[in-house]
Structure 1
Amino acid sequence: MKQWIFLAAAIVSEVIATSALKSTESFTRPIPSVIVVVGYVLAIYLLGLTLKTIPVGIAYAIWAGMGVVLVALVSWLAFGQRLDLPAVLGICLIIAGVAVINLFSKTAVH
């Protein structure tokens, strides 16, 4: 069970880092820059812990897919970026793909 907590924390860390990236203003602002660097380092570390028990293909697919979905949602909520119908449909397909991996794949650790 803890491998899924590590993976969830890796995803959240990556989303925080990516969401703060624009605020760095090309890494000229120290506080957002530190948030980005620490967030990415933590995300990679936690992903590495996840890979002790979850196959890399499965872990990375979930990490990347949920990262895309969450960054899109943060961008919409925090930065007012609009999502058109194709973007929303694509996000729904990503979520469906992650669900299929977790619910039906025999390679995913449950």
Structure 2
Amino acid sequence: MTAWLLLAVAVVAEVAGTLSLRLAATGATLWYAAVAAGYLVAFTGLATTLAHGMPLGVAYGIWAAAGVALTAIGSQVFFGEPLTRVMLLGIALIMTGVLLVELGSVH
């Protein structure tokens, strides 16, 4: 259970870092500190997840897919960026692929 909690923290930190990058890119350079902190926590959390025994393919797949999905939703909520049906289909396909990777890793 600890590995899953660490992975969740890593995902949330990665999404926060990426959303902060959007703010920093608008000229608010103070947000770069949030970007750095978010990515530092994200990669540390991912590495610690792996140290707790979660397979790399599963951990990275979930981290990346959840990050893409949550970042797309967050960019729509916070920045009014589009989130079209085609984008939602793409997110669903990514998540389906990650689920298949996870199911395939179970022996």
CA–CA distance in structure 2, aligned partners of residues 57 and 77 of structure 1: 30
CA–CA distance in structure 1, aligned partners of residues 27 and 32 of structure 2: 5
In the alignment, which residue of structure 2 is the partner of 1:54? 54
Where in structure 2 are the equivalents of 1:97-108 lying within 5 Å? Answer: 97-102=97-102, 104-107=103-106
In the alignment, residue 59 of structure 1 is paired with which amino acid?
A: A
In structure 2, stretches of 5+ residues that fail to align are: none
TM-score by length of 1: 0.85
Deviation at 1:69, TM superposition (A): 0.5
1:56-75, Cα deviation, whole Å (9 max, x unpaired): 11111111111001100001
User: Which shows bigger deviation, 91-100 or 52-61?
Assistant: 91-100
* Residues 27 and 79 of structure 1, relative CA distance in 2, 3 Å threshold: closer
User: How much is the aligned-residue C-alpha RMSD, in angstroms?
Assistant: 1.9
1:64 equivalent to 2:64? Answer: yes
CA–CA distance in structure 2, aligned partners of residues 70 and 91 of structure 1: 10
Deviation at 1:27, TM superposition (A): 7.2
CA–CA distance in structure 2, aligned partners of residues 26 and 81 of structure 1: 14
| Aligned residue-pair number | 106
In the alignment, which residue of structure 2 is the partner of 1:38? 37
Identity %: 37
Where in structure 2 are the equivalents of 1:24-35 lying within 5 Å? Answer: 24-25=24-25, 29-30=29-30, 32-35=31-34
In the alignment, residue 34 of structure 2 is paired with which amino acid?
A: I
TM-score by length of 2: 0.87
**Structure with the larger helix share:** 2
In the alignment, which residue of structure 2 is the partner of 1:74? 74
